[in-house]
Amino acid sequence: QVQLVESGGGLVQAGASLRLSCAASERTFSDYAMGWFRQAPGKEREFVAAISGHGILTYYSDSVKGRFTISRDNGKKTAYLQMNNLKTEDTAVYYCAADRSLGRVREMYQLDAWGRGTQVTVSS
């Protein structure tokens, strides 16, 4: 089963940028669609962005569209989330997840694997 490890979180000021990474153990990484999700204190986990196995298709939530970019490097078995112009409301634990179905990633439905998360805190 694919294992995922996130990194790159931290404490930044509003307007700053961060890049999150999600390293996968799976040899056939390109078979998996990847997604980023986040969960703020007291709120449910929500979809942030998704990318198809070969990186051609990308999807974003309305709240991050135009500020965040999801990408992947299949040779390095790593997915990324570039976050620009961060806002205080972006503060959350960010998780990456993998599934063979891009549709399930977009719906956050019964995904094959999840990472443990990385904290992103944006101060005003």
| Closest by Cα among 12, 35, 27, 37 to 87 | 12
Measured CA to CA, the distance from residue 95 to residue 37 in angstroms comes to: 5
1 confidence band (pLDDT: 50, 70, 90)? confident
Determine the Cα–Cα distance for residues 61 and 46; give it in Å rounded to an integer: 9
Q: What percent of the chain has pLDDT over 70?
A: 100
pLDDT at 16 over 90: yes
Question: Span 2-23, mean pLDDT?
Answer: 97
Q: Check residue 103 and give its pLDDT.
A: 96
